[in-house]
Structure 1
Amino acid sequence: MKRDFIDPPLAYMLLSGIKLKKVGGQKLTVASGIDRSILFNLRSMMRMERDINSLLDFIVTESARIANSERASLFLYDEKRHQFWSKIALGTTEVIRFDADMGIAGKVFETGKTIIADYAYKEKSFNPLIDKKTGFITKSLICLPLKNVDDKAIGILQVLNKTEGVFTEEDEGILEIFASNAAVAIENAALIDELEESKTLLQQENHILKQKSKGKFFVNDIIGSSPKINEVVRMIEKIANSPLDVLISGESGTGKELAARMTHYNSTRSEAPFVDINCAALPESILESELFGIEKGVATGVEKREGKIEQANGGTLFLDELGEMSLQAQAKLLRALQERKVLRLGANKSIDVDIRIVAATNKDLLNEIQKGNFREDLYYRLNVVHIHMPPLKELREDIPVLAKHFLSDIGQKIGKHQLRFSLEALNSLSNYSWPGNVRELQNEVKRASIMTEGDIIGITDISEHIRNPIDNVNLGNDITDDPQTLKETVQRIEISMINDALQETGGNKEKAAKLLGITRQGLFKKIKRYGL
């Protein structure tokens, strides 16, 4: 019985569910009793399969079945090695690799054209090594390229040993369409598999980073044992797991952000985001959009963006330098806190949020309220729990412990593992007043660690204004000989320290501000005030 050949375009129409018309009075049929619905289902199943291993298994099984053959093999191209490899070969579990230029497979891959061999071992290009590896004897075969949507070959499909007769052009037409759909499905599944692996890896890395971050902020890891530090630790332990908002006060550099992070990472919200924003670092016009977000189209070229409040949903929002926030932004923040809803700039609908607020300030907010610079209702809304971070000059007994801790940490980073302080150097650190608090101490330890030439940081490695109290003695003499007001004396000291910091940092104001233990904006104000 004569069978009619279905060419690829018509076969594609068949797979797509399009009815075939009679051509020249002859009705086209499908080879081997395979009808339209079976081919269409095979294509659908391939597209639905997301697991790459299951998909490859399905392809070789079904390609052998629809061609009435003993076996099928699928070889994918490894571009880096210029090899074919088989993860699945029907009837075997062995992974096979061979050079992509070898055999009929290599020829099909190079030319992009299907090859039919009625007697495999009579073909000059046939490579018998695969048979030797698998123990299978190839008699007849059809080898087809697997091409993606860009018509680029990604591998080859071989169907082996027709159970009755030899492979025909009719088999070729059906298998070519099957192979083209298989190639697309393989690429999609491989991409999904790669994305899933990347997602899993990112989740694992994120979990590790969270655990590391959390480990840095255990309450028991707070350095110091003075009564005032112990009081801070006890307060954080008490309120960490509560839903209460927290207000942290203290001078610049006293560790307010550290206390905020410890409050978060020791709470039930520790797996959720900790989002921070410095209210003093952003202009008023930008601060509101950063906090509340903005809708697309508010201004030309503006895209929709989540604000910090939304980003902190489920976790903690840390508002640093709260006292610098404008009254307008304070009003919007108060509304968001009361309603637990946030309204993006330019939006008509509010978004529900579940956040805990931890705010920090180096200002006396009650005094700011009296001046009309801060809202009283917002103050009492945030000041549910108040934590005060003491200045370093009130923690003198903790200074040696803190200095040694910073030295150990910095020594590890710069490869100086044996660094230690001389007793004289440590005493000079303990006797200094530290106007920049813990941040200034940390920066001084960093500087001394780099400047010292040996393993021992001596008194000469400490900055002169810290190690040498002569300036303070001279200051007293100056006051006696040439009386000055307290304000004038403070100004003179500030000017001297700012000049020293700028000289040490090569004029870098951001680094100088950190060295002095004040904000960059605070430094700019002082430079402008003193005309430096």
Structure 2
Amino acid sequence: MILYFTRRFLCKCKFGGGVLLEQLKYIDGISIVDTKGTILFTIKFNPKFHSEIDENAGIIGQNLFSVFPMINETSSTLFQAMRSGTPIFRASQSIVDFNGNKNKTTNISLPIKANGKIIGAIELSKDISVTGQLSTSVVEIDPNSFRVKHLKEKVKPERAFFTLDDIITENEEVLSIKRSVKNMAQGDSPVIIYGETGTGKELFAHAIHNASDRRSKPFITQNCAALPETLIESILFGTKRGGFTGAENNPGLFELADGGTLFLDEINSMPIHLQAKLLRVLEEGYVRRIGDSHLRSVDVRLITATNIHPVQCIKEGILRQDLYYRIGVMMVAIPPLRERKEDIRVLIDYFIGKFNKKLSKKIAHISKDALISLHNHDWPGNIRELENIIEYAMNQVDVCEDTLQVKHMEQQMKLLGLVKSDSEKEMLPLKEEIATLEKERIKEAIVLTEGNVSRAARLLDIPRQTFQAKMKQYKITI
């Protein structure tokens, strides 16, 4: 399969006026590394290469620079391809492994991407130690084939998929946030979104863009924590050909988002020195690609997000105070699920509908025991955690069943701490046990009656006034 796709690629590449495949005729080896330089796969077809280390078996999992100590990140075509995000062609490269074996090769190095993120590189090599190097030092790519197609795919604008209507809630605070977001979407001021992991920060970013006048323009997203520090600057601001070894003319995220919105998640993970450059771009409205002296004007609305409160980020020194004042013109603080438990039922219903369609199930109900167990959990993973446990449970349901029950999610609930074994239960003084039981029963009654106080009081067979007094005593809100 690897050779099939390799051949398809090579057939589209031109070299010195001839077809590259016709010049190479064959390849002697294939190697794949991740972004750290770990060798994930290697195969050598040339017997001359088989002496590397027990016919390559011993180098899997080792670092590229340990096996080939004479190259480094600057000279390695694999790393050049990952850094620039484009194919690198070198007609002649001398390689010496740690056993002292010397070879001269022609290399074709290509970045490997998944979901728009560079995760490694693949290199095709041909031994030219005997035949001598090929006629030129750079392989040009047919402008009507792979390279143009690659760049078009790379700069293809993304779009926002979610709107305010996709934010499901019955919580008054979140409803108020939605109303506020609808108003703030009309301007161009930067927005910072704060919320714990799993609360739906990106969902709000999508909604802001789709409620704005920029909705028809690009919506570009990037998680700052998902990028190595060596790549984030070039990805944000772009590169100019010749700016560094292997650099090509590539637009950065600011240029790709021109006219639209750029969403930077986990902004607190961005290196401090790059935060200063980001601040300058926001202040001036211009970007300069790495290695370029030319300034490019950009019209971008910036939305950022963090799962740590911005003030705490500043105290910990992971967010510049001056940058915060620039990006925090408007702030959206999303409450965690444990503070909006009235949303648990509506979210469960939504996820059941979603996974009915995805898994071809026909769940129409959730048992009272299962609902109460889910309601009593604190949900440190928030909505994402709830979605995961519903998906897990629905994978356990037989096709003929129509009710989601505790047994379907019991194993996952134990792992998450929703259910404790008898040996884990602690003995409390009788007064505390009674108070705990009373509080739990009141919460359960509220859940089962969907917040109707009168019905909940009748369910527990106590006066409405007593029920309300107990709610106040235990600080239970609806």
TM-score when normalising by structure 2: 0.53
Tell me how far apart the structure 2 counterparts of residues 291 and 285 of structure 1 sit (CA, whole Å).
11
Match of 2:407 in 1: 460
Cα-to-partner distance string for 1:37-91 (whole Å, 9 max, x where unaligned)? xxxxxxxxxxxxxxxxxxxxxxxxxxxxxxxxxxxxxxxxxxxxxxxxxxxxxxx
Please state which structure has a larger fraction of its residues in helix: 1
Match of 1:350 in 2: 295
Tell me how far apart the structure 1 counterparts of residues 214 and 423 of structure 2 sit (CA, whole Å).
53
Contact 2:389 2:412 (8 Å CA) reproduced: no
Tell me how far apart the structure 1 counterparts of residues 273 and 170 of structure 2 sit (CA, whole Å).
42
Q: Which amino acid aligns with 1:317?
A: L
Aligned-partner SS, 1:396: coil
Aligned-partner SS, 1:267: coil
Match of 1:392 in 2: 337
Q: Report whether the alignment pairs 1:434 with 2:379.
A: yes
Match of 1:246 in 2: 191
Cα-to-partner distance string for 1:77-111 (whole Å, 9 max, x where unaligned)? xxxxxxxxxxxxxxxxxxxxxxxxxxxxxxxxxxx
Tell me how far apart the structure 2 counterparts of residues 293 and 479 of structure 1 sit (CA, whole Å).
62
Match of 2:175 in 1: 230
Shift of 1:457: 1.3
Match of 1:77 in 2: none
Q: How is 1:358-397 mapped onto 2 (pairs within 5 angstroms)?
A: 358-397=303-342
Cα–Cα, structure 1 residues 465 and 442, in superposed 2: closer, same or farther, change >3 Å? closer
Q: How is 1:2-151 mapped onto 2 (pairs within 5 angstroms)?
A: none
Match of 1:411 in 2: 356
Match of 1:327 in 2: 272
Shift of 1:464: 3.8
Q: Structure 2: give runs of 5+ residues left out of the alignment.
A: 1-151, 430-478
Alignment equivalent of 1:277, drawn from 222, 225, 232 = 222
Shift of 1:449: 1.0
Match of 2:370 in 1: 425
Shift of 1:373: 2.5
Tell me how far apart the structure 2 counterparts of residues 226 and 243 of structure 1 sit (CA, whole Å).
27
Q: Structure 1: give runs of 5+ residues left out of the alignment.
A: 1-201, 481-532
Shift of 1:242: 0.9
Tell me how far apart the structure 2 counterparts of residues 367 and 263 of structure 1 sit (CA, whole Å).
25
Q: Report whether the alignment pairs 1:314 with 2:246.
A: no
Contact 2:236 2:252 (8 Å CA) reproduced: yes
Tell me how far apart the structure 1 counterparts of residues 215 and 279 of structure 2 sit (CA, whole Å).
24
Shift of 1:314: 0.3
Tell me how far apart the structure 2 counterparts of residues 450 and 390 of structure 1 sit (CA, whole Å).
29
Contact 1:254 1:391 (8 Å CA) reproduced: yes
Tell me how far apart the structure 2 counterparts of residues 413 and 350 of structure 1 sit (CA, whole Å).
48
Match of 2:145 in 1: none
Alignment equivalent of 2:236, drawn from 291, 299, 313 = 291
Cα–Cα, structure 1 residues 473 and 290, in superposed 2: closer, same or farther, change >3 Å? farther
Aligned-partner SS, 1:462: helix
Contact 1:465 1:471 (8 Å CA) reproduced: no
Runs of 4+, deviation exceeding 2 Å: 298-302, 370-373, 417-420, 463-480
- Computed over aligned residues only, the root mean square deviation of the Cα atoms, in angstroms, reads 2.6
Bigger Rg, which one: 1
Cα–Cα, structure 1 residues 469 and 290, in superposed 2: closer, same or farther, change >3 Å? closer
Match of 1:220 in 2: 165
Cα–Cα, structure 1 residues 324 and 474, in superposed 2: closer, same or farther, change >3 Å? farther
Tell me how far apart the structure 2 counterparts of residues 464 and 415 of structure 1 sit (CA, whole Å).
22
Cα–Cα, structure 1 residues 478 and 347, in superposed 2: closer, same or farther, change >3 Å? farther
Contact 2:214 2:261 (8 Å CA) reproduced: yes
Cα-to-partner distance string for 1:99-144 (whole Å, 9 max, x where unaligned)? xxxxxxxxxxxxxxxxxxxxxxxxxxxxxxxxxxxxxxxxxxxxxx
Shift of 1:353: 0.3
Tell me how far apart the structure 2 counterparts of residues 261 and 391 of structure 1 sit (CA, whole Å).
19
Q: Which amino acid aligns with 2:188?
A: P
Shift of 1:354: 0.3
Contact 1:411 1:419 (8 Å CA) reproduced: no
Cα-to-partner distance string for 1:15-41 (whole Å, 9 max, x where unaligned)? xxxxxxxxxxxxxxxxxxxxxxxxxxx
Shift of 1:476: 6.8
Match of 2:394 in 1: 449
Of 413-422 and 254-263, the range deviating more from structure 2? 413-422
Of 223-232 and 319-328, the range deviating more from structure 2? 223-232
Q: Which amino acid aligns with 2:426?
A: N
Shift of 1:220: 3.3
Cα–Cα, structure 1 residues 479 and 249, in superposed 2: closer, same or farther, change >3 Å? farther
Please state which structure has a larger fraction of its residues in strand: 2
Q: Which amino acid aligns with 2:291?
A: G
Contact 1:255 1:438 (8 Å CA) reproduced: yes
Aligned-partner SS, 2:251: coil
Tell me how far apart the structure 1 counterparts of residues 224 and 424 of structure 2 sit (CA, whole Å).
37
Q: Report whether the alignment pairs 1:477 with 2:426.
A: yes
Query: Identity, % of aligned pairs?
Result: 38
Aligned-partner SS, 2:189: coil
Shift of 1:472: 8.7
Cα-to-partner distance string for 1:282-313 (whole Å, 9 max, x where unaligned)? 11111111111111122332221111111110
Cα-to-partner distance string for 1:444-488 (whole Å, 9 max, x where unaligned)? 1111111111222111111446377553986673999xxxxxxxx
